Structure 1
Amino acid sequence: MQPAGSPDPRNSRVWRKLSPEALDSLRGPILLRQTSSIEENWRWGAEDSSAVEEHDGASWDADWEWGAESKHQNGNTRPALPTSPICQFASLSHDANYLVCATDRLFVVLKAGQSQEYALVGKGVPEDRDEQITAVTCAPLFIPSNVKSGVSISVIVGFSSGYFRIYDERGRLLISHLLNLSPVIGIKIRTITPTSLATSIEPDGDEVLIIYGDSKAVSIDGPSVWMAIKVVAGYKDFGETLEQPALVYKKWQFDKQKRILDMVSLGPASATVISPPAFHPVSSTFLSTRRTARYIGVGRPMITFYATSEAGRSHSLKNVATKVTSAVTNAMFSFAKTIWTHTPTSLTSAYPPSTPSPPGTPTSSTPTLPDTVAPPVRMPALCTLSDTQRQITSIKLSPPCTLTGKSKLAAVTDSLGRCMLVDVEEAMVVRVFKGVRDAQCGWVQVEAGLRGGSGGRHDTPEGSRRRGKPPTLLLAIYVARGVLELYHVRHGPRVAALAVDRECKLVQTATGVLGGAYGGQGGPGTGGLAQCVLVGPTGEVRRVRPEGCF
């Protein structure tokens, strides 16, 4: 039952909406693709009436008041022709105040306002007409000088040309790098928490992972990204120009799999159960296996675990890497002094400045790698889970544990209508969900002790830890036919099955802030517990409120 006086989360049908200006920007390229669709391509059957099981005589749809907008008028039994998703890519900030949506030709940055709308604050397009946007992620940054929230927003965009570019929230281009010639297929950010920073045996830090379509990936040290963005943005605010700063990175080659569709980074570890035992060749004493980097690649074969014990984790581009990494430590404590004492000549660009070509000189649309880009290093594979008939299409790490700061689980979706729960420490599939073709997954956390309402103001992992219990972890699975399911993990029951719109995007909040751990703002505690929202095909945004399921 609901506590007296507490709001019922099911009373809110639509949490927020995209502003008309944002919808007009996104619908332009989408309408061109919709003109070629025909009504016969859509199959309407009895699955609409049987998609959701009955719940004690009352449907979840009626309880949550979702789907009322989809009821047909004038007694028509045949639904209207569905629309395409409002965007191809979507990403949320850590606190859900910023939403980034993108098509293949445009990205928009939206900010939540007091009018319950995501208002358009910035947008951008590819630099080259032949480029297409292939990946987008919202990257919150810890900014000590931002007294209002302490966090600023940037957007990392990957392109079909292999470029990845970083923009600020207004859409201004800050950084552009080409480290590989294959299309970027994914961008992942791994942030450390104050807990993992204090307990980690191996040196660890924030990481930005750029995933390419040719089984390569570039791991960029988060502190170098943080510093480069702040330096370039600072100069742009004063109307000054700055050469492209270099980044500290490591380029990996994952050749164990024929095709990689997605990847995540697990960070360093002192020991893993899937590591083979090692013994001293003379004394035969057991040697502890420490991994400086760990990754999980999914595709074909299904899942492969990679790890390396290589001591040197990052490349240094000229001498700027040393300057950037040494400056980051002091920057957290005296940000203004560190940033504003830099001069444009103190940052040496990793790429030679471009010179304009003489008129009439032929230009090639195919980019070439700069000479300063290091070759990839082969990443050893530890073990592989393979099924010749199955291909994994995506992987989503669970929020970091509040005690260790490490993720323990991952949800993966495959090409045969399955979703699997994987223990990333044991390298073991612990649960399989069937009948979820074309599924999207996300993680939702509920404060420990809540049953049927907000119940308190401390909606953070720290609030649960003060009560001695970790947050309750739920897995949200959105199925393309218009069903959203919530499950207790690892082996708990299904707590909800909701009828929702088709062609939605399930988007999870970012799990941390770049540089946040050093300022006491790392991990999910920065913006509360992990959340998920559904972005509908007409621009409505519904928040997944699991409190109503208990």
Structure 2
Amino acid sequence: MSCVLSNIGCFQDILTIKRFLFPDLKDEEKSETDGWEDVDWGWDQEEQNETKSDGKTESKNEEQHIWLQECCVSLSPTSDLMVIAFEEKAVFLQQKWDPQKDGIDYRYHIVYKGELNQDEGECVTSAMCVPLASQKRSSQGAPDWTCVVIGFTSGYIRMYTENGALLLSQLLHEDPVLKLKCRTYEVPRYPGIGEQQEELTILYPTALVTVDGFSLFQSLRACRHQLARAAASGSDVIQPPPLAYKKWGLVRQEAITDHVSCGVVTPCSFDQLNTECMTGGYTASIRATPPAAARYLTTGTGPYVGFYYALEGSSQPLISDVAIAMASKLKSALLNAASGWFGFAGQAQQTEHTTKQKPKVEPATSLPIRFGIPDLRRHGDSICVSPGQGLAVSTDSFGRVILIDVARGVAVRMWKGYRDAQCGWIQVPEDLHREMGEGKSRHRHRQYGPRMALYLVIYAPRRGILEVWNTQQGPRVAAFNVPKSARLLCLAIA
């Protein structure tokens, strides 16, 4: 088996992006003059400060080369749009066909750059490019346009077009956004496997927000139509519809840094009985049919990896939440009446006006952890699920890469010596022309399609190497020497 790194494009002007995102970081100086005008012939002073200058130049070179690893970078699955953001600034790049003599046909050109923060001190924490399908009958499967979803430290989720026009802004939680991930529709390969619907998941330090893909598509479509009408009429004011979402409060885990959504699963009868007995005791009531639940995996501390199961169906608000809401309304009514009696109506109106400016945030439904992989000293950094949602790979603070069986909830393999590693997945279909001579293989290809081989990609930035491994068993397949300042862009769409 042979592996080759193929080039899909390059940046048209990377220095412009670097200067915009990091204005304080100076470019590498290139001396092209003869040097007779500004030369100081202080030979003794140069020999004395030789060791100090070497250390300073090394630190400057490291800062100049690792600036990309400090940014939030997202690439569209179709490779037509890329977003690079740092703090409050962001740059949108679009892939265009621009062949030149170097043999690279596609280049990423800047289509938008600017500051996205609307409040003081607001910074970008996560970005993601989501392509939206076209509803035209003449479409050949290519996306109609790409939406850029960006999370901020204020808890806001804002969605933009490719040109940087704001479509929707909504506050879902009052904590900083940690991660944005999306799952698209996938046709089941084998009978008995349930269909996985589209879903956008937003991770906060203590909550997880899920947005249904169909409602998100309709909302973005309506916002885009309103934006086009406002631009045609010369106005910039649009009224975007609110997003329909579910918010789960993740409890019984000390800290959470990353998450993945593994889709909806239906347990067998034995697993249903086992789960009900472990959670509800011997007096637990058993349903006639196993309930379907959405499975989420988180990584962090206490435990190292957590497994959450959210039952399908809308949950009713708790009595305590209703009582708190009624008490707050009664308190506000009494304060307004008292302010009118004692002549403080103006101050009450001002305070009411300030409170109205802050949007209302819905409370989260408590979702306790079902089980996890405990490790007291290990701190999870990131987690990535495989395309079939059967395996997940996690990185930690000890420089380990751990392969996890999602269905069984156990770790099946570990790689050591990969500090600050970045992981991804590759699916390779089998060669159909090699096996077309056999009758059984032809029948199987018509029924289930070609078989898929799954490989794990590990990028070690400190070693400057990119490795491809067999997942559960087997040796390393390939290794490539890459720069230490690179980024491995694993698509956030599982």
Fold-level similarity (TM above 0.5): yes
* Residue-by-residue CA offset, 1:12-33 (whole Å, 9 max, x unaligned): 6x5421121x641343232525
Within the alignment, does 1:397 sit opposite 2:380 as a pair?
no
* Residue-by-residue CA offset, 1:498-523 (whole Å, 9 max, x unaligned): 211012110023546xxxxxxxxxxx
* Residue-by-residue CA offset, 1:336-375 (whole Å, 9 max, x unaligned): xxxxxxxxxxxxxxxxxxxxxxxxx99999998523x321
Within the alignment, does 1:430 sit opposite 2:430 as a pair?
no
Q: Which residue of 2 aligns with 1:382?
A: 370
Unpaired segments of 5 or more residues in structure 1? 3-7, 45-78, 316-360, 401-406, 452-462, 513-550
The residue identity in structure 2 corresponding to 1:392 is G
Structure scoring higher RCO (CA < 8 A, sep ≥ 6) equals 1
Where is the helix percentage greater, Structure 1 or Structure 2?
2
Q: Which residue of 2 aligns with 1:264?
A: 260
**SS of structure 2 residue aligned to 1:239:** helix
**SS of structure 2 residue aligned to 1:254:** strand
- Cα pair 1:90 1:102 within 8 Å, conserved: yes
Q: Which residue of 2 aligns with 1:289?
A: 290
Within the alignment, does 1:105 sit opposite 2:88 as a pair?
yes
Matches within 5 A, 1:343-358: none
Q: Which residue of 1 aligns with 2:307?
A: 305
User: Greater Rg, structure 1 or structure 2?
Assistant: 2
Q: Which residue of 1 aligns with 2:139?
A: 147
Matches within 5 A, 1:197-208: 205-208=197-200
* Residue-by-residue CA offset, 1:101-125 (whole Å, 9 max, x unaligned): 2222222222222222112223442
**Cα distance between partner residues in 2 of 1:420 and 1:436:** 11
Shift of 1:427: 0.5
1:441 to 423, 432, 445: 423
- Cα pair 1:394 1:412 within 8 Å, conserved: yes
The residue identity in structure 2 corresponding to 1:137 is M
- Cα pair 2:222 2:240 within 8 Å, conserved: no
**Cα distance between partner residues in 2 of 1:185 and 1:271:** 30
Matches within 5 A, 1:174-185: 174-185=167-178
Shift of 1:136: 0.4
Shift of 1:242: 2.9
Q: Which residue of 2 aligns with 1:167?
A: 160
1:191 to 184, 196, 199: 184
Q: Which residue of 2 aligns with 1:475?
A: 456
- Cα pair 1:174 1:229 within 8 Å, conserved: yes
> CA 1:121 to 1:29, structure 2 compared with 1: closer, same or farther past 3 Å?
closer
Q: CA RMSD in A?
A: 3.7
**Cα distance between partner residues in 2 of 1:487 and 1:365:** 56
**SS of structure 2 residue aligned to 1:502:** coil
**SS of structure 2 residue aligned to 1:267:** strand
- Quote the sequence identity (%): 30
**Cα distance between partner residues in 1 of 2:244 and 2:62:** 52
Number of aligned residues = 403
**SS of structure 2 residue aligned to 1:262:** strand
The residue identity in structure 2 corresponding to 1:246 is P
The residue identity in structure 2 corresponding to 1:234 is H
**Cα distance between partner residues in 2 of 1:120 and 1:466:** 45
- Cα pair 2:383 2:395 within 8 Å, conserved: yes
- Cα pair 1:85 1:505 within 8 Å, conserved: no
- Cα pair 1:277 1:289 within 8 Å, conserved: no
- Cα pair 1:308 1:380 within 8 Å, conserved: no
**Cα distance between partner residues in 1 of 2:291 and 2:213:** 21
Shift of 1:236: 1.1
Q: Which residue of 1 aligns with 2:72?
A: 89
**Cα distance between partner residues in 1 of 2:491 and 2:359:** 35
Q: Which residue of 2 aligns with 1:209?
A: 201
**Cα distance between partner residues in 2 of 1:123 and 1:465:** 48
**SS of structure 2 residue aligned to 1:184:** coil
Matches within 5 A, 1:38-53: 40=55
Instruction: Output the TM-score relative to the length of structure 1.
Output: 0.65
**Cα distance between partner residues in 2 of 1:277 and 1:493:** 37
Instruction: Output the TM-score relative to the length of structure 2.
Output: 0.72
Within the alignment, does 1:222 sit opposite 2:222 as a pair?
no
Q: Which residue of 2 aligns with 1:329?
A: none
**Cα distance between partner residues in 1 of 2:238 and 2:191:** 36
The residue identity in structure 2 corresponding to 1:152 is W
The residue identity in structure 1 corresponding to 2:456 is L
